[in-house]
Amino acid sequence: MVKFSLIAVAVGVALLLGAHWVSVDYLYFATYTILQFVVLATAWNILGGYCGYVNFGSAAFFALGAYSSVFLHKAFPLPVPLLIVVGGIVSGIVGLGMGYLTLRLRGSFFAIATLALAVVLATLVVNWDYVGGSRGAYIIRPESIDILGLKITYIEYLFALMLALTVIALIAARAIERSQLGFGFATIRDDELAAEACGVPTLKLKLIATTLSGAFMGMAGAPFPYYIGYLQPSSAFGLEYAVNSIAMPMIGGTTSWVGPLVGAILLGTAQQYATVTISSAVNLLIVGLMLVAFVIIAPNGIVGLVQERLRARRRQ
């Protein structure tokens, strides 16, 4: 656990220094998006992969984080790291509420409710003029920022924050996976009724999972308005967040923390490339088709395929 955290932090610092050494703005923009997807995919996987409960409303939790930043930016401005904490708290509370209302019933109700949640939150935001309504909100980010006497560009600052968040999310996911909590989650995924009968507090565990998962999504969304500069409901609630945060873990593999990381890096990079070279609609179509193909052909994702290959080699 400690060893893994140290390695993860070391990799993060190495990436940060490497990026600072290259120092190309486009690189920051592109990798920020990919890291954001790593956090979203990891967050989705805490509930979806470990517990087996599907959340279609990732975009809603993400947008909730983004819009709480917009609200605070207007009401009483805070530094971005604090905004990330606030976004996480807001989304976590909504996740808890959703879970409490729907998770006592059959699992599919939760999935349906999350789908509808995105539509309703979008409706609320569209009708809420204070955060820009349907016109959207402008956030003018400073050119640069001083940290410990070191002057860096704002986009590098945002990149560093998202990198830190990614490291935290991955460490948290791995820690959950190997703790009692993770084993509890796995029993829910495999057979909820049997788990309940054996005395596993399933509802409590599920609520912990929805809260954690929602909170990380909100944290991923909180710096987004500063990154994009102009936030409107259709971009914050975009279907691409919902589909990507499902497709990435599914394609990477849902059983461990490696899957979402692999899936997000792979799909994220491919999409950055395709958006520039082809068109953004075609690249979303490819993501959708890959999702359908993977759930049918390779239900355990890339990680599952690799594991099978290794096992087959060992047997020989």
Gyration radius (Cα) of the chain, Å: 19
Burial class (CB in 10 A: 0-12, 13-18, 19+), 8: middle
Tell the residue number behind the tokens 């820690």, with chain if given.
Answer: 175
CB of 189 to other proteins, least distance (A): 8
Residue closer to other proteins, measured from CB, 115 or 200: 115
CB of 6 or CB of 289, closer to other proteins: 289
202 Cβ neighbours under 8 A, 6+ residues apart? 188, 192, 195, 196
Per CB under 8 A, residues contacting other proteins are: 48, 52-54, 56, 101-102, 105, 107-109, 111-113, 115-117, 119-120, 122-124, 126-127, 134, 189, 239, 243, 246-247, 250, 254, 281-282, 284-285, 287-289, 291-292, 295-296, 299
User: Smallest distance, Å, CB 302 to other proteins?
Assistant: 15
| E strand segments, the chain | 137-138, 144-147, 150-153, 230-231
Q: Are 115 and 98 in contact (CB under 8 A)?
A: no
Cα end-to-end distance, the chain, whole Å: 33
Q: How far is the CB of 59 from other proteins (least distance, A)?
A: 11
If the CB atoms of residues 27 and 298 are measured against other proteins, the closer one turns out to be 298
* Least distance to other proteins, CB of residue 287, Å: 8
In this structure, are residues 310 and 259 in contact, taking their beta carbons and an 8 Å threshold? no
**Which CB, 30 or 117, lies closer to other proteins?**
117
Other Cβ atoms within 10 Å of 49 Cβ, number? 27
| Rounded Cα gap, residues 140 and 138, in angstroms | 6
Cα-based angle 53, 57, 63 (whole degrees, multiple of 5): 140
Smallest gap from Cβ 290 to other proteins, in A, equals 9
CA distance 293 to 302: 12
Please state the closest distance from residue 247 (CB atom) to other proteins, in A.
8
CB nearer to other proteins: pick between 156 and 192: 192
Q: From CA 20, how far away is CA 248, in angstroms rounded?
A: 28
**Token duo for residue 162:** 């998202």
Taking the complex as a whole, the smallest distance from the CB of residue 100 to other proteins amounts, in Å, to 9
What's the min distance (Å) between Cβ of 175 and other proteins? 23
Closest to other proteins by CB, 175 vs 239, is 239
In the complex, minimum distance from the CB of residue 126 to other proteins, in angstroms, rounded to a whole number: 6
- State the helix-helix crossing angle for 280-297 and 239-252, rounded to 10 degrees: 40
Q: By C-beta, is 159 or 185 nearer to other proteins?
A: 185
For residue 180, what are the CA distances in angstroms to 170, 175, 205, 232, 260? 17, 10, 11, 41, 21
- Smaller CB separation from other proteins, 12 or 253: 253
Measure the CA–CA gap between 261 and 39, rounded to whole angstroms: 8
Closer to other proteins by CB, 181 or 243: give it.
243
